[in-house]
Amino acid sequence: MTDPTAHPVSKEMLVTAQCQTTLLLDHHWMPIRVIPAGRVFYHLFRNRINGLDLDLGQNDTNAWIARQPELLATGLYPTLPGPRQHWAVPTIGVVNNPFKRERQMSRRIEFEELLELYNHTCQICLERFPRSMFDPREIFNRDHVLPRSKGGPDDDFNIVLACKECNARKGDVYPYYNAKGEEIKTRARPHYFDVALGAQGIRPEWRPFLWRNKVA
């Protein structure tokens, strides 16, 4: 492989292993959190994630390594100096397996949060129940996208809001589709990005994936 250090790297692009460089997406391309450069390569070299280039093309471990000279030459990627060479860091990573997340990346979502996040709307029949007319606990259930009988966790990334009738009809079927024929997917909560991004702020290529950007 061509020596990546042969390409001049701007000092502004150099990062440390602790720098928050990369938006991690789940298998539905929904945001999980921002992770540091060192963690990116930890997951990448273990084939846990694919790196997205700036054209949103997916690259597995071998492809990302092979493309290093090309990626570094663009001068557009955060660059992690190593003992023998520099490494272009993907600014977006996608996990390879459904629901495979680090334990600390998730937490239980409360019923009231589900109501607000999904605007009192069943994610299966897509009917909205006005909060002033019904007791929501008589109408809705916490629905596991991947059923518990199939190993689905109770974490927020596996829970949507569904009316009790639809929830009962769905049973343990996976995947399941809503009234529009779309596979049911969870939403990231607006406050998911509670990490300090520093002076860099939110990268432009992250914006299409950020829930808070969609509702702004």
**For 181-209, how does the pLDDT look when each residue is reduced to its tens digit (9 = 90+)?**
999 988 765 443 433 343 345 788 887 88
pLDDT of residue 8: 53
User: Which tokens sit at 85?
Assistant: 């060479």
pLDDT of residue 208: 81
Helix residue spans in the chain (DSSP H) = 37-44, 61-66, 68-74, 111-117, 136-139, 164-170, 211-215
3 state SS of 61: helix
| Torsion of Cα atoms, 40 then 49 then 62 then 11, to 10° | -30
Q: What is the mean pLDDT of each run of 10 residues along the chain (216 residues)?
A: 47 82 86 86 93 95 96 94 92 78 57 86 93 82 89 82 95 93 79 40 77 38
